[in-house]
Structure 1
Amino acid sequence: LFPLIPFSIFLLLIRASLVLAAATEAAAASTLLSIKSSLKDPLNTLHDWDSTTEFSSSNSRPVWCSWSGIQCNLTGQVTTLDLSGRNLSGRIPTDIRHLSHLRHLNLSMNSFDGLLEAAIFELPNLKTLDINHNFFNSSFPPGISRLESLTFFNAYSNSFTGPLPEELIYLRNLEYLNLGGSYFDGPIPTTYGKIFKLKALYLHGNLLTGPIPAELGFLNQLEHVELGYNEYSGGIPSQLSGLSNLVYLDISSSNLSENLPAELGRLTKLETLLLFKNQFSGSIPASWAHMGSLQILDLSDNNLSGEIPRGFSSLKELKTLSLMNNKLTGEIPQGIGELPNLESLYLWNNSLSGTLPQTLGSNCKLQRLDVSSNSLSGPIPPNLCLSNKLMKLILFSNNFVGEIPSSLTNCKALSRLRIQNNNLNGSIPLGFGSLPNLTFIELSKNSLSGPIPEDLGIAMKLEFLNISENSFNSELPGNIWKAPRLQILLASSSNIDGKIPDFVGCRSFYRIELDGNNLTGRIPPDITHCQKLVSLNLRRNSLTGTIPWEISTLPSITDVDLSHNFLTGAIPSKFNNCSTLENFNVSYNQLTGPVPSSGLVFSSLHPSSFIGNDGLCGKILKKPCLTEGPATEAVQIRHQPKKTASAFIWIMVAALGVGLLILVVGSRYFQAKYSRKLLHDKNVGSWKLTAFHRLNFTANDVLECLHMTDKIIGMGSMGTVYKAEMPGGEIIAVKKLWGKQQDTTRKRRGVLAEVDVLGNVRHRNIMRLLGCVSNNKCTMLLYEYMPNGSLDDLLHGKNKDENLVADWMTRYKIALGVAQGVCYLHHDCNPVVVHRDLKPSNILLDGEMEARVADFGVAKLIQADESMSVIAGSYGYIAPEYAYTLQVDEKSDIYSYGVVLMEILTGKRSIDTEFGDGNCIVDWVKSKVGMKNGLVDVLDKNAGASCASVREEMLLLLRVALLCTSRNPADRPSMRDVVSMLQEAKPKQKQKLVRRDEVVVDFPEP
């Protein structure tokens, strides 16, 4: 019996262990399900975390180990919890502390907010903790020092406030630390110099102040450091030269000053050094030429002076050198042209002199070269495109001489060529028209001569050509108008002679300037081919013949200047019916006859537009025409028909009127009866698809999607908007215009305005018009689909509290996007486009919450016979001067933008009973100025206004809104100034930091 006693005890122990294991497993399951129940999971990503699962000790592996985001060890204990990228929100429960074997916790890319749960710091085995891209706010909670095994901590892009946590210095195993993209303020703790195992340190994009601690130089294991986008004082401590393993250093846009420390030249492993947008002064240390591993050096946008160190010629690994926008002098070291790996050289806006290294490009890797706005001289290097990789060549505003290298015509990668304002001579080499990627050529203000190459007329992608202020003494190429994508031709004052070629093939041009030349002959009447033409300038030539009336038929023509020529005949009366025309100058010609005065166009022009024509007369010139008076009446009497003939004619007219009445009534009945069959009726003519972008579908594909009413996503005064999925999976929005006949003229003008504007603009913040489908009865406009609706929906919709718009970062992003879109319309379009109806319902949001300015139906439409209040804007957004001037311009748009910005900041509509009878949001906000906490009280708490740092950022934008809504239009800033002010006030969390360490970055050109 004795031997059996130990065996029975053994059985008891086994049973006890099984019971304990089952209890442990049940506790793990309970903890996980508690976490699930505490979270909001709108996408149901945790659907497989099934609470009905039965737990049994007989199972070889617990079922939760197969749940999404869960990993277990061999004994079934949870070691990894990965909830990243699931759009989760809510609070992590304190029960998470029971996952005591957890080694990896990832909560990144979600919408967690509030306090970071301190129970996380009770996980003794945790090695990696990732909470990046969330909304955790308040100060950083205490307790992280208990995570003694932690090696990786990423908290990038949250909303933490207060000082950086000093407790981190007790994490002796920490190798990766990222606290960037929040609102941490105050100095970097000097004690961070004691985290000796640290290899990567990210503190960028906060509100940090004070000097950069010299103690960071003790972290000799550091390989990657990003401290930029803060507001430090002082310079870079020379002790950072002790970071012997450093590979990457970025302290850009951080208010640093003083001289660059020469000691950094000891960083022989450094590959990337980014110090742009600071206030460094003095010269570039010559010792930096010892950084033999350097690949990217960006010192742009500082106050550096002196010369470029000649030792830079020995940096054999260098790929990108950016020293633009400084005060550098002297010559460019010739050896830089021989650097074997150089891809990008940016030296724009300095005071450099001497010659450009003639060996540039010989390394066969050069892709971008910008040395514009210097004092460089000598010839352009001949082998810049030896590699056939050169994409951008920007040399303008220097003193280059000699000819344009013919080797550039073989540069198939070249997209932009800007060499204007130099002293170049010779002819334009033949071959640029054959380059497959060339879109932009600017050769103006040189001494070029000889023939203008014919192959420019076959350039496949060329959009912009400026050859003004040269000395060609030759004719325009006969095929110049056939260039398929050419939109702007500027050839003023270039000694061009001969006749203007026929306009056959002119399909993309919207601006033509040929003024100040020696052109002869007539203006070709086939200018009707230029259907997109907006501006035509032919002044100061020797043109003869009459003014072609066909110009007046161009649907977008706005500005016509034919002055200082030898044109004869009368001004065609059809110009007076050209609704888009704003400027029409025919002064100093040999025109005769009356100036039309019955319509709006000519009556609004200044008399100087017609002076210098002795034969012109009319009311606008205060010169009566001789044909007016009794003589005219006598002629009319002499040709008066007999009464019998007159009676017969009246009978015929009456009969015809009755017939027309019957026809109109019948047609309306027919239309009402068969309007539902309009889309598929073969009798209304074939459908035509006009594409403004490359499309992967046909008109029939669009029609197939419009017979289901459940795809309607909106209705308005112009028509119905459908959501349509094309066969290739692309989702678009289709605006099918109403088929009613009333107001047809006005609505058609609105459609044409929208097509003209959206069909030609290209900007990320302007709604893309993909194309137009039409037949002789129906018109449909095709747009990119905006899944997040309009700004009005997000600010004022029923579910506004659940929308991302409550986040301040998203609101700022929308406000900046709208400003950039309107700035493009005002400053980068020629002619200027005034939107005239800017409001939240006309601002649409894509899947990334990027704003798109939409609905251009009233742009450029001011008609004398229409109600100005209808076409000039919407109540609550109209500038006050409209009441007495009946004029809308860019300043009117800026006022409307200010109202929209106030709505974004306050969360209120532009018109609300809260503001008082007859008052709008502008009156309400301005009434708060001067009151204690008045402006603070108007800010929307749902946007985070209760947070001090957010509140300060919102107040900066509110001041911009007040400027935009100044009662005097002259006091309002331009949209370009508005964009600058918004960019200066940008939140320092979650911003998309400018990264110039990637060679593919496309720098903005001056």
Structure 2
Amino acid sequence: MKHLFPFFLTTLFFFLTKISLVFSITNLPLQLISLLTLKSSLHDHQNTFNDWDPTLAFARPGSHIWCSWSGIKCDKKTNQITSLDLSNRNLSGTIPEDIRNLVHLHHLNLSGNALEGTLQTVIFELPFLKTLDISHNLFNSTFPLGVSRLKSLTYLNAYSNNFIGPLPEEVAQIPNLEYLNFGGNYFKGLIPKSYGGLAKLKFLHLAGNLLNGPVLPELGFLKQLEHVEIGYQNFTGVVPAEFSSLSNLTYLDISLANLSGNLPVGLCNLTNLETLFLFKNHFYGTIPSSFARLTSLKSLDLSDNHLSGTIPEGFSGLKELTVLNLMNNNLTGEIPQGIGELPNLELLALWNNSLTGILPQKLGSNAKLQKLDVSSNYLSGPIPPNLCLSNNLVKLILFSNQFVGEVPSSLANCTALFRFRIQNNRLNGSIPLGFGILPNLAYLDLSKNNFTGPIPEDLGNAATLAYLNISENSFNSKLPEGIWSSPSLQIFSASYSGLVGKIPNFKGCKAFYRIELEGNNLTGSIPWDIEHCEKLICMNFRRNSLTGIIPWEISAIPSLTEVDLSHNFLTGTIPSNFANSTTIENFNVSYNQLTGPVPSSGSIFSSLHFSSFIGNEGLCGAVLQKPCGTDGLAAGAAEIKPQTKKTAGAIVWIMAAAFGIGLFVLIAGSRCFHAKYSQRFSVEREVGPWKLTAFQRLNFTADDVLERLAMTDKILGMGSTGTVFKAEMPGGETIAVKKLWGKHKETIRKRRGVLAEVDVLGNVRHRNIVRLLGCCSNNECTMLLYEYMPNGSLDDLLHGKNKDANLVADWLTRYKIALGVAHGICYLHHDCDPVIVHRDLKPSNILLDGDLEARVADFGVAKLIQCDESMSVIAGSYGYIAPEYAYTLQVDEKSDIYSYGVVLLEILSGKRSVEPGFGDGNSIVDWVKTKIKTKNGVNDVLDKNAGASCHSVREEMMLLLRVALLCTSRNPADRPSMRDVISMLQEAKPKRKLPGTVGAGDNAIAAKPLAQKANVEC
């Protein structure tokens, strides 16, 4: 019994401690209990609640320790919590009922989190609440009733959520409301008339919803309004005349709102107005001269309308103006010279009008000018000399005018200059020395002018220059010796520029994608070291006086697509290695002095037109239907064979390819075996305990997942990293579970891929990106838990055996999916920091929810782009990999854009990316590009099941086909950004109602799927 006595004392002590602890908890202040309940109800993925430690509260009752916790402020006299700020913590879950106990709360900020579902109405029970911020969350219901109980509320911000239904009229019953932001949601219908009764309202933001009807005139009665943003809607009618009474207004934005009529003259009464945005509407008529009375104006944007007439002379008196955008209208006349003297002007955009006269010669004299674009007008005279007086000028765009004189030498010293385009003018003189040493210059286009003299040597040293075009000038000089050494230069065009002498050696040619030297007087031979241009896609040396043979090294450039050496004096044979190229699309050596057979052993040359070889009397072969001599080479012909080391290298590559094919067969065989005989999921208790990491509030445990998987045989699919199962959780929730392949030699590597997917998906939030619920793992197995997508994948939709014929025939649905995918990829490329490149975009990785909204999935090979880096292995799927990626392993957004273009082609054609009918080694990209070159070939490309036989649908599909071809350009520099893709898709938007709609432009806010599916009508 003695040995049990110490155990008895320990147990007693533990029991008494527990009683004491329970007693202490029951005596804790309600404020602390509410905070601890709040902490336990929210999923804190980033452990931001780590300082909410109640330990000291037990040890020191009455200490009010919570007043020092992060996000909390207390009244210094009463110690009551008055402010709770939980913003930007990536929290998910729900707000507990106990928050009502924080009765003295004045300020509640829940913005920048992942809260979803219905907004908890318990928040409306806080009697003294003055500010409520729930912006940048995922609330996706109608706005709940009860907000009118917040009688003290002055600030309500619900921006960027997924609220649906009508705008809540109840808001109008909040007597002291000064700030109201419901922008960036999916509210639809009219602006309630009751909003005209918010007498104290100073800030109103409703932009980016689905509102329609006329702009509410009653808003003009809100005399306290200072800030109004109500654009990005589908309104009808005009700007209400009542708005001219808003004398306190400083900011008015009704852009992209489908408004029409004349610009309202009454707006000139808003003398406090600092910002006026009315761009992308249908306004016509002249710009009212009375707008010159808006002397407080800092930003004026009337672009993308149908305005005519002249720019009011009175704009010269708008001394506060920093931004003036009037582009894309029908303006005529001269630019008021006084605009050049505006002391604060930073951005002037007047492009695509019909303006005449000279550019104000004092532009830039204020030393603040950053961007000037007056392209595509009829302007004349010299370029102002002081545009970059204080090195602030970033963009100077003057192309397609009638400017004369020389380029001011001061521009060659403008270190801030990033983009300089002056092509298609009448400029003369020589190019100033200095552009090559500008540290930020990336784009320089001097083409189609009358420049003469030497081409500056320093262009070969340009550190950041990626695009250089000096075509169609009259230099009558040599190319600089170091022109190919520019480290960033990708596109160089100097066609028809009067170049003489020899082509410099290509040593240092690393980044070039396109070299165009057509129509000059170049002599000598093509340098043998052209193989250094290893990224070259297009080389055009036609119409020169080149001699010598065609170097064999050209055929060794791995991604070469276009070769034009026609109209020269080349001799010798066509290197036979060209026939083995899988990338050549155009090859023209016509009108030279070549001899010998045209290679025909491969499929490339046999598909080329005979005109590519005419004008060479000594050429022969099947392509020309001209038999060759028995010796295989015509008399005097000589073919320069590759050196021995290249033959050895080829053997190494062949052996490597054979090994890769064998490995592929082995892996494919093992997966087929697994798919055939592993019909049920084997849930073995792997080594180590299971751990569930949740990225939002889950109503199940890891054991629930394991138990349900043991009962299911529903396999949704198999990928390179594992099998995906459908599983119903105990609470009725259906999820998708992705289990990593087990018992496999490459398990560790693929496990890393899945964990990479966790790392990527756990930090992204977008309606077009699949939602990762959590991750189950132990020492030997990993499972990812996703939201279940009931409509499968885009691959199922387009190519599945059980595809819904009616669904496939719906072009509107296909367009909606294409646009949704674009928004998802755009988010990864432009809104994530660091940038995320998916690297395996294809239809099977595009999932469809219940509303057929596209969700981009499978991030197992996604790459975070933090700097320029290459991958050690090629990741992605055959048929979707960008051509330059296959040999450079360079990771950037352009790879995804190429893959997106392939997906677009599948959506348009209904065909897979690779099909036997395309020919050996050809993908859908090759097939489409071949088809569209033939008469009526487009008819074979566009899927008739999608409605291509209907004229209106066919026109819409043609617009998307152009986008797809741009995205699949072999030259990455020619591919648009994802923001540009979205803009082009918006321009191609079907005229009928879409199953889901989105906003337009770079700043667009995506919109909500509509309730009904539209039908295609001819």
- Picking from 434, 440, 443, the partner of 2:443 is 440
Q: Secondary structure of the residue that 1:401 maps to in structure 2?
A: strand
Q: Deviations over 1:388-423 (max 9, x none)?
A: 221111011111122222222121211211111112
In 1, Cα distance between the equivalents of 2:217 and 2:509?
Answer: 65
Amino acid at match of 1:889: I
Q: Deviations over 1:663-689 (max 9, x none)?
A: x9xxx9xxx9xxxxxxxxxxxxxxxxx
Q: Secondary structure of the residue that 2:354 maps to in structure 1?
A: coil
1:188 and 2:209 correspond: no
1:980 and 2:984 correspond: yes
In 2, Cα distance between the equivalents of 1:836 and 1:620?
Answer: 39
In 2, Cα distance between the equivalents of 1:784 and 1:457?
Answer: 44
Aligned-pair CA distance for 1:963 = 6.4
1:277 and 2:310 correspond: no
Q: Secondary structure of the residue that 1:519 maps to in structure 2?
A: strand
In 2, Cα distance between the equivalents of 1:394 and 1:476?
Answer: 26
- Picking from 548, 551, 559, the partner of 1:548 is 551
In 2, Cα distance between the equivalents of 1:522 and 1:251?
Answer: 61
Report the equivalent of 2:468: 465
1:340 and 2:354 correspond: no
1:71 and 2:106 correspond: no
Report the equivalent of 1:105: 108
Report the equivalent of 2:64: 62
Amino acid at match of 1:225: V
Seen in structure 2, the aligned counterparts of structure 1 residues 816 and 891 have a Cα distance that, compared at 3 Å, is: farther
Q: Secondary structure of the residue that 1:376 maps to in structure 2?
A: strand
Q: Secondary structure of the residue that 2:140 maps to in structure 1?
A: strand
In 2, Cα distance between the equivalents of 1:796 and 1:167?
Answer: 38
Q: Is 2:484–2:509's contact at 8 Å kept on the other side of the alignment?
A: yes
Report the equivalent of 2:572: 569
1:885 and 2:918 correspond: yes
Amino acid at match of 1:613: N
Q: Write out aligned runs for 1:240-319 (5 A).
A: 240-319=243-322
In 2, Cα distance between the equivalents of 1:33 and 1:41?
Answer: 13
Report the equivalent of 1:515: 518
Q: Secondary structure of the residue that 2:550 maps to in structure 1?
A: coil
In 1, Cα distance between the equivalents of 2:446 and 2:613?
Answer: 34
Q: Is 1:334–1:356's contact at 8 Å kept on the other side of the alignment?
A: yes
- Segments of structure 1 that go 5 or more residues without pairing to the other structure are 1-20, 633-659, 673-714, 719-739, 741-781, 825-833, 863-871, 895-921, 930-958, 996-1006
Q: Considering only CA atoms, is the larger Rg found in Structure 1 or Structure 2? A: 1
Amino acid at match of 2:465: L
Q: Deviations over 1:494-536 (max 9, x none)?
A: 2222222222332222211111111122222222332222211
Q: Select between 59-68 and 522-531 the one with higher mean Cα deviation.
A: 59-68
Amino acid at match of 1:62: H
Aligned-pair CA distance for 1:288 = 0.9
Seen in structure 2, the aligned counterparts of structure 1 residues 305 and 387 have a Cα distance that, compared at 3 Å, is: same
In 2, Cα distance between the equivalents of 1:629 and 1:360?
Answer: 68
Aligned-pair CA distance for 1:255 = 1.1
- Picking from 422, 427, 444, the partner of 2:425 is 422
Seen in structure 2, the aligned counterparts of structure 1 residues 266 and 479 have a Cα distance that, compared at 3 Å, is: same
Aligned-pair CA distance for 1:113 = 2.5
Aligned-pair CA distance for 1:883 = 3.4
Aligned-pair CA distance for 1:891 = 7.9
Q: Secondary structure of the residue that 2:83 maps to in structure 1?
A: strand
In 1, Cα distance between the equivalents of 2:841 and 2:42?
Answer: 45
Amino acid at match of 2:567: H
Q: Is 1:315–1:339's contact at 8 Å kept on the other side of the alignment?
A: yes
In 2, Cα distance between the equivalents of 1:631 and 1:296?
Answer: 72
Amino acid at match of 1:883: P
Q: Is 2:618–2:634's contact at 8 Å kept on the other side of the alignment?
A: no
Report the equivalent of 2:493: 490
- Picking from 355, 358, 362, the partner of 1:359 is 362
Report the equivalent of 1:138: 141
Amino acid at match of 2:34: T
Aligned-pair CA distance for 1:369 = 0.6
Over the aligned positions, Cα root-mean-square deviation in angstroms equals: 4.7
Q: Write out aligned runs for 1:159-198 (5 A).
A: 159-198=162-201
- Picking from 865, 871, 876, the partner of 1:855 is 876
Q: Secondary structure of the residue that 1:425 maps to in structure 2?
A: strand
Amino acid at match of 1:69: G
- Picking from 804, 811, 822, the partner of 1:816 is 822
Seen in structure 2, the aligned counterparts of structure 1 residues 276 and 630 have a Cα distance that, compared at 3 Å, is: closer
Report the equivalent of 2:459: 456
The share of aligned pairs that are identical, in percent, is 56
- Picking from 385, 395, 398, the partner of 1:392 is 395
Amino acid at match of 1:879: R
Q: Write out aligned runs for 1:375-414 (5 A).
A: 375-414=378-417
- Picking from 115, 118, 123, the partner of 1:115 is 118
Aligned-pair CA distance for 1:792 = 8.5
Q: Deviations over 1:298-349 (max 9, x none)?
A: 1111111111111000011111101111111111111101111111100011
In 1, Cα distance between the equivalents of 2:120 and 2:58?
Answer: 29
1:533 and 2:536 correspond: yes
Seen in structure 2, the aligned counterparts of structure 1 residues 347 and 433 have a Cα distance that, compared at 3 Å, is: same
Amino acid at match of 1:884: G
Aligned-pair CA distance for 1:201 = 1.4
Seen in structure 2, the aligned counterparts of structure 1 residues 543 and 152 have a Cα distance that, compared at 3 Å, is: same
Seen in structure 2, the aligned counterparts of structure 1 residues 242 and 585 have a Cα distance that, compared at 3 Å, is: same
Report the equivalent of 2:853: none
Amino acid at match of 2:876: D
Q: Is 1:308–1:333's contact at 8 Å kept on the other side of the alignment?
A: yes
Seen in structure 2, the aligned counterparts of structure 1 residues 565 and 860 have a Cα distance that, compared at 3 Å, is: farther
Seen in structure 2, the aligned counterparts of structure 1 residues 589 and 856 have a Cα distance that, compared at 3 Å, is: farther
Q: Is 1:344–1:369's contact at 8 Å kept on the other side of the alignment?
A: yes
Q: Write out aligned runs for 1:658-673 (5 A).
A: none
In 1, Cα distance between the equivalents of 2:177 and 2:121?
Answer: 19
Q: Is 1:236–1:256's contact at 8 Å kept on the other side of the alignment?
A: yes
Seen in structure 2, the aligned counterparts of structure 1 residues 561 and 324 have a Cα distance that, compared at 3 Å, is: same
| TM-score of the aligned structures, taking structure 1 as reference length | 0.67
Q: Is 2:335–2:355's contact at 8 Å kept on the other side of the alignment?
A: yes
Seen in structure 2, the aligned counterparts of structure 1 residues 45 and 479 have a Cα distance that, compared at 3 Å, is: closer
Q: Select between 225-234 and 340-349 the one with higher mean Cα deviation.
A: 225-234
Q: Deviations over 1:926-959 (max 9, x none)?
A: 89x9xxxxxxxxxxxxxxxxxxxxxxxxxxxxx9
Q: Deviations over 1:900-939 (max 9, x none)?
A: xxxxxxxxxxxxxxxxxxxxxx99x989x9xxxxxxxxxx
Report the equivalent of 2:702: none
Aligned-pair CA distance for 1:448 = 2.0
Aligned-pair CA distance for 1:138 = 2.8
Aligned-pair CA distance for 1:286 = 0.8
1:618 and 2:621 correspond: yes
Report the equivalent of 2:7: none
In 2, Cα distance between the equivalents of 1:498 and 1:817?
Answer: 50
Q: Select between 564-573 and 550-559 the one with higher mean Cα deviation.
A: 550-559
Q: Write out aligned runs for 1:535-934 (5 A).
A: 535-628=538-631, 786=760, 799-801=784-786, 815-817=821-823, 839-840=844-845, 841=858, 855=876, 859=881, 879=912, 882-886=915-919, 887-890=922-925
Seen in structure 2, the aligned counterparts of structure 1 residues 562 and 880 have a Cα distance that, compared at 3 Å, is: closer
In 2, Cα distance between the equivalents of 1:53 and 1:812?
Answer: 56
Q: Secondary structure of the residue that 1:498 maps to in structure 2?
A: strand
Seen in structure 2, the aligned counterparts of structure 1 residues 586 and 603 have a Cα distance that, compared at 3 Å, is: same
Q: Is 2:214–2:236's contact at 8 Å kept on the other side of the alignment?
A: yes
Aligned-pair CA distance for 1:440 = 1.2
Q: Secondary structure of the residue that 1:475 maps to in structure 2?
A: coil
